[in-house]
Structure 1
Amino acid sequence: MMRIAVLGGHGKTGRAVAAALADRGAEAVPLGRDAWPDLPGALAGCGAAYLIAPNLHPDEPAYVGEALAAMSAAGVARVVYHSVASPYVPEMPHHLGKAASEDLVRRSGLAWTILQPGAYVQNLDLAGPSVSVPYDVDAPFGLLDLADLGAAAATVLLEGGHEGATYELASRQVTTRQLAAEAGLTAERVADPGTHPWLTAMFGYYDRHGLPVGTLPLRALLGRP
């Protein structure tokens, strides 16, 4: 049974990846912050790793660089990096951190694949009566279901032919208004809560451009719509 480390394995993304790996018969090894004092030791015996940085990390390239060094020291041969759709967007600082991290992954000396997921469907509250977001409800998005992400991650980790590939991932192209209407709900724009300047910048970008993401790579990876 192949052992695969999931760095950031205790969050919702890591749990989705670990569940999909288990469904495919692999052993997922979730690693959180407590593993970092001896990360090479925690990675020992793992043939591959899925690398997720904490949300809004202040220096994601440094985090990713440390993780890659630990993988090399532990003999991990394969890494899949969890990036973001449209990583090079100067208006979104946290996207730029992922763009720089992608460069580190490509130059790491490890066999690598990069996944660029769109925004998660699960980030929207569809419990009703209205779906509220701090950006234009008619902005176009490529939304990704967490189960689809997990299945795609398991595919690239466990099957050959994905080394050196970068895949955008979205389950569907839709606006917030359209998604709400499908659930019998309305959609409304609310004020930006102003919780983090990077999020404020992101909402402003979404207002102007949305975040379109292609759906064909995911369909190809999963072999289904």
Structure 2
Amino acid sequence: MASKTALVLRATGSQGKGVRDPEEPRALALKDSGAQLFKGTLDNPDSINAAVQGCSALFLNQIPSFTDDAETREASSIVVLAKAAGVKHVVHSTTLPFQYPDFRTRYADNLAGPAIIGKGNVEDLIRESGLMWTIIRPGIFMTNFTTPISNYMHPELAEGKLLEAVDRDTILPLVDPDDIGAFATAAFQDAKRFSGKIVPLASDKLLSVEIGREIERASGKKIEVVFKPANECEEEAKTNLLVAGNRLTVGIDALVDMEEVKAWGIPLTSFREILEKNRDAVMPEQW
């Protein structure tokens, strides 16, 4: 099998906030593993152009925009530069709700909707780019429940509470960001198998009470799972972006078939495993 060089955008993030300091521990860890680091931003064509030279593959990973079409404009510029540099295959990580054919109208009135719809526009751009493509549609990141991301996504964990704006019987499709990386790697290594494929991805499916139980088990701290009343959730979702995003997760577990995911033959990480692997990041520092 011929070797490939891939440009991984935002490689120092966890499908979330990245770092720009090449001396930061996350960046140094990548460097130690053999990666070549490039400092830049996705809206800077010069930095992208420098990084993509010599690459035959691209992992496209962007921050959503809630206010404008910045994500689409960035992706359009990146695709042009990638094609000019000789990239043949792009793996694009988007989001599980795109499994709904009507996601644009379904989420049009949700406060978090513009970010979802914007990513949908980028997905369309990739499929029409002329490049070989593979699209991964992951569920909810397991890292949302570990620090430092949980400090923002679930700040009440600092008080021993997991506050949820979903129904008690809502099943959440969770994904380890490392599993997204494993699927992307597999797609680059076996382009024939993954070309033109859309992969809905979850690593585990759990109820909120089960998530709380696993956090409690890993941390040794008592966790109370609190469900906001539905009418309160709907009202808060009009002004609170986190609540609005939380509401978007209701029902999306049905969009991913775990047996189909397992059929790809790529090992998956359970929520318990990621908590054990990152035990020092299970609870907020304020606890």
Corresponding position: 1:159 with 2:190 = yes
| Equivalent-residue separation in structure 2 for 1:138 and 1:28 (angstroms) | 45
- Counting matched residue pairs gives 217
Q: Unpaired segments of 5 or more residues in structure 1? A: none
Question: Which range is displaced more, 183-192 or 100-109?
Answer: 183-192
Instruction: Give the aligned CA root-mean-square deviation in angstroms.
Output: 3.2
TM-score (norm 1): 0.80
| Equivalent-residue separation in structure 1 for 2:168 and 2:142 (angstroms) | 14
Alignment of 1:1-225 (within 5 A): 1-13=3-15, 27=35, 32-33=40-41, 36-38=44-46, 39-56=48-65, 58-59=68-69, 60-87=71-98, 88-90=103-105, 91=107, 92-125=113-146, 129-160=160-191, 161-184=193-216, 185-189=223-227, 199-206=242-249, 209-212=250-253, 213-224=256-267
SS of the residue 2:264 aligns to: helix
Question: Which range is displaced more, 213-222 or 108-117?
Answer: 213-222
Percent identity of paired positions between Structure 1 and Structure 2:
25
SS of the residue 1:33 aligns to: coil
Given that residues 64 and 118 in structure 2 are in contact (C-alpha distance below 8 angstroms), is that contact kept between their aligned partners in structure 1? Answer: no
| Equivalent-residue separation in structure 2 for 1:7 and 1:55 (angstroms) | 14
| Equivalent-residue separation in structure 2 for 1:29 and 1:221 (angstroms) | 30
| Equivalent-residue separation in structure 2 for 1:31 and 1:157 (angstroms) | 23
Tell me the amino acid that sits aligned with residue 13 of structure 2: G
Q: Deviations over 1:7-27 (max 9, x none)?
A: 122311288xx99xx8xx985
TM-score (norm 2): 0.64
Given that residues 57 and 90 in structure 2 are in contact (C-alpha distance below 8 angstroms), is that contact kept between their aligned partners in structure 1? Answer: yes
| Equivalent-residue separation in structure 2 for 1:211 and 1:183 (angstroms) | 22
| Equivalent-residue separation in structure 1 for 2:117 and 2:75 (angstroms) | 13
Q: CA deviation at 1:109?
A: 0.7
Q: Deviations over 1:90-146 (max 9, x none)?
A: 312211112211111111011110010001111024877332334445422211012
| Equivalent-residue separation in structure 1 for 2:140 and 2:263 (angstroms) | 19
Q: CA deviation at 1:55?
A: 3.5
Q: Unpaired segments of 5 or more residues in structure 2? A: 19-25, 108-112, 151-156, 217-222, 269-287
Question: Which range is displaced more, 86-95 or 44-53?
Answer: 86-95
Tell me the amino acid that sits aligned with residue 141 of structure 1: L
